[in-house]
Amino acid sequence: MTEEEIINFDTADPLAAKRQHFELPTGKIYLNGNSLGPLSTAAKLRVREVIESQWGNDLISSWNRHRWIDLPLAVGEKIAPLIGAAPGQVLCCDSVSINLFKLLAAALANRRREHAVILSQQDIFPSDLYIAEGLIKLLRERGVSAELQLVPSRDLEQAVTKSPDVLMLSHVNFRTGAVHDMQRVTDLAHKNNTQVVWDLSHSAGAMELALDACQVDFAVGCGYKFLNGGPGAPAFLYVASRHQTGLQQPLQGWMGHRQPFEFEPHYQPDEGINQLQTGTPSILSMSALDAALSCFEGINAAQLREKSLALSEMFLSILEKDSTSSELTLVSPRSPHLRGAQLSFSHSQAFPISQALIEAGVIVDFRSPNLIRLGFSPLFLSFAEVAKGASSLTQIISEKLFWHERFSVRAKVT
């Protein structure tokens, strides 16, 4: 690909101006927005305002004056259009793991069969599996017969025909980037009287999602990846309106109570999606996410998807023209429509290669045991950066620049 062609891509990019909303360090190419989205100016200014003016000056009155108390619902409503949800079904709160616990428990409580079954895929994000395991363990200890069934992706459809209570899946696989057909899988589950809980952590903010149109039951998703909410930003959850009446979620804290400030001794759930709240929301973090979501104003998810696929296709086309690329094995689907906004490659030296890339200013991550993972966030990346990132990767491999002891030292977070 010539330099001119790359420039043409950037000139024609309808999202190019969005880059100015982010405070990216110069000299770094950030291919890790799928793990931790970058700082936006809006988030920085909002956190400063919340700390200095709201918390600093208005103190506790800010719960009313600055509507801190309404943030979980308000931020949920901002996320809703990005995932194809009508109002009243999305709430911002807690972490993905905690939200998943609430929703899996609620989905199982909907059924009350002799034997409760959650079906999932072996290689989804482990925290989701740990949470399901923990819930199953709790049920068993209370004498309820329950089971978590894990199958490889290729066996999922067959396993759904056995009518598990719940199918829990990641829409985009965190390792490979492989994407499930949400409509097809949800339809199949419903035909078999199974409810579906989708984890949207690697899709929300990067691709089109149509939860209402697909008649999804429940979903969770991450605030700090493509939504750019900041480290440890609160997550979100979705409960279709039809499941909200009579819903039973076990983490029934005061913020989900009908009248939290009446301090009644017994729990009475609020109506609607707010009953999924548990404790006091983390206002600093949620404010950052709220502000960061303004970066999505004026664009639609189809534009995000189109650009992220064009970026990853450009990366692949540069790589595939270079002979060193034969050393890397693409573990993401080669067909763009079958993957999310990421590419993963396996290599026996994946860790040192990822470290050499980071030292060269191309920020990627490593996923054990042997994957180099690159995210193609459409809001802030340029085609020129992606082209440079691809050239760095081929250079590091062809010149064996990763052969140095310092690239093998592993920190706690990879």
Write out the residues near ligand PLP by the rule CB under 6 A: 95-97, 125, 127-128, 170, 174, 199, 201-202, 222, 235
Q: What is the dihedral of CA 74, 341, 23, 387, to 10 degrees?
A: -160
Sheet holding 195-199, edge to edge: 90-93, 235-239, 218-221, 195-199, 166-170, 115-121, 145-151
Closer CB to ligand PLP, residue 60 or residue 413? 413
- Give min distance, CB of 235 to ligand PLP, in A: 5
**Which residue in this structure is represented by tokens 């502000």?**
291
Closer CB to ligand PLP, residue 287 or residue 394? 287
Closer CB to ligand PLP, residue 170 or residue 195? 170
Closer CB to ligand PLP, residue 75 or residue 96? 96
DSSP states of 169-208? EESB-TTT-BB--HHHHHHHHHHTT-EEEEE-TTTTTTS-
First to last CA, the chain: 32
Closer CB to ligand PLP, residue 201 or residue 382? 201
Using CA atoms, how far residue 6 sits from 67, 312, 343, in Å, is: 46, 13, 20
- For Cα atoms 275, 136, 89, give the angle at the middle one, nearest 5 degrees: 25
- Give min distance, CB of 31 to ligand PLP, in A: 16
Closer CB to ligand PLP, residue 125 or residue 380? 125
Closest CA to 89 of 98, 80, 78, 100: 80
- Give min distance, CB of 120 to ligand PLP, in A: 12
Burial environment of residue 261 by CB neighbours within 10 A (0 to 12, 13 to 18, 19 or more): exposed
Dihedrals phi, psi of 158, to nearest 5 degrees: -60, -45
- Cα(230)–Cα(285) distance, rounded to whole angstroms? 7
- Cα(137)–Cα(74) distance, rounded to whole angstroms? 35
Q: Where are the alpha helices (DSSP H) in 70-151?
A: 71-79, 96-109, 126-141
Catalytic center residues: 125, 199, 224-225, 373
- Give min distance, CB of 227 to ligand PLP, in A: 12
Closer CB to ligand PLP, residue 136 or residue 314? 136
- Give min distance, CB of 127 to ligand PLP, in A: 4
Closer CB to ligand PLP, residue 127 or residue 163? 127
Contact 332, 344 (CB under 8 A): yes
- Give min distance, CB of 100 to ligand PLP, in A: 7
**Which residue in this structure is represented by tokens 């800010």?**
62
- Give min distance, CB of 258 to ligand PLP, in A: 27
- For Cα atoms 159, 165, 170, give the angle at the middle one, nearest 5 degrees: 65
- Give min distance, CB of 122 to ligand PLP, in A: 14
Closest CA to 162 of 152, 149, 174: 149
What are the tokens at 70? 């309404």
